[in-house]
Structure 1
Amino acid sequence: MKTSKRIRYSISITILAVSAFFWIILLFNPGGIMTVKHCHVSLEGPSKASLQMMLQMNPVSDLMIGWTLMVLAMMLPKLITPVQYIYDRSFKSRRFWSALLFILGYTAVWIVMGFFMNAIIVGLNLLLPNSYIPALAVGIIAVIWQFSPIKQKCLNRGHDHVALAAFGSEADRDAFMFGIMHGVWCVGAGWALMLFPMLLPSGHNLAMIVVTFIMISEHMEHPRSPGWHFSFRLKLLRVMIAQTRLNMKNILKFN
């Protein structure tokens, strides 16, 4: 049931293309779904009335749509390897369906997390509208979490590839649960990084791109023993530099 290099390449291109499509939507920000609209806070400070007004200006449905689009844009490239794994270990007739169930399970975890994240975002914007203080505080937490043993454990578990049943409802269950568990460990590793861009009053698009780069890079690193590792895990940058040097050598060679 091993997939060919052509199929693996097609999986990579397809997932990257879908991710790019969602990135285009995010960058155009239709209807301002990626921007928290603010209301005036009374002189007495945040109140029930101001909270109700903010929720009217920022419906939960819009917040969740924006969150889901962000998750799909930023996280889909990280799913290339597990989707290829599913294709390697599934019958041809089941490959696409099993991969889809995996992605649905993974996305469901981030959507559930999104309710809590959006509650934090709305609350902090209500308390400190248009302030960089919440983003700065979460940024500090994200840096500490980045080097922590718990973060490394989550990254390690994100490399786990479970056994998958071959037929019927058992295969569906295994693929979906594989997605859920992969999502749980991904949330554990990247929750602070995902929250940081959403708290910025401006520049959140650039921040999302930087965070995506970091999260893809750390996913490419090999597992290591949990501990305080003061490493920025920039394997993607190292790969890009090496590939650029190789391409330059080839260009100079043929000129």
Structure 2
Amino acid sequence: MILISSRLDFTNSDALLPEGHIIKEIDITKDTTIREISIDTLLNELKDKNVCMLVHGYNNEHEEVRDAYQIIENNIFRNQDFKYDLIIGYSWPGGDRALEWWSAKSRANAVARRFRLLLELISKNTTVDVISHSLGARVCLKALKEASTILIRNYYCMAGAVDNESIEIDEEFNLSLSSLERLFIMHSAKDEVLASAYRLAEFDNALGLFGPEDKEQVETQLLNVFVANCKRVVTHHGGYKRSPAVFDYIATGQTQNPSRFITL
């Protein structure tokens, strides 16, 4: 897998690179480097490809990111309905302890600009889908908010650790909807992390807990937003990556518009 990292020294959970990214192709099962890649080489190799980029969330050490991405990659490639040429992992310093939410959130905001610049380069000649988890939603949505053109075809937002009203009109990430073709919000009321820790930190409900706050507005005005209630198939915060139903839903979205609101 190609892994693009904004972490200091490629693996540091708490510190950003001064600028840009380190790009490596790694053997994800052994965590060994196959080669280092320049951005120009990457862009050339991705030309005319159909790729999916993975963006992890809060409190993930390098080894946990690697293991999660391997599980997701395996679930995608075992489903014949997926048409991706390549899965790319994105790594950012989301912390490695449970009690550093505010510093991790600050780094998510800081990473968003360089993630946008990366997407702007890649999306010129490549079709890009994104799957994010948890606080990775802030990295992605803030990056899209700052863009001036469509950067992502399909964005699958799992367990989004952003406020449940944040994509609605006049809210923080409403402008992000203009920089993607379709947003798929995937939520579960059985998410123990969003139900407790997120509420305690933010005094609000997360998008990934019950979905958007104003569902009528989403249905009637935010027409490129699709909402999947995953409470039957996802029973904890990290459960999305192991759910066959979740990947069947994503695969369906590759070729058609599913129902605007659905329960898996």
What TM-score results when the alignment is normalised by the length of structure 2?
0.27
In terms of Rg, which structure is larger?
A: 1
Question: TM-score of the superposition, structure 1-length normalised?
Answer: 0.28
Which protein has greater RCO, CA pairs closer than 8 Å, 6+ apart? Answer: 1
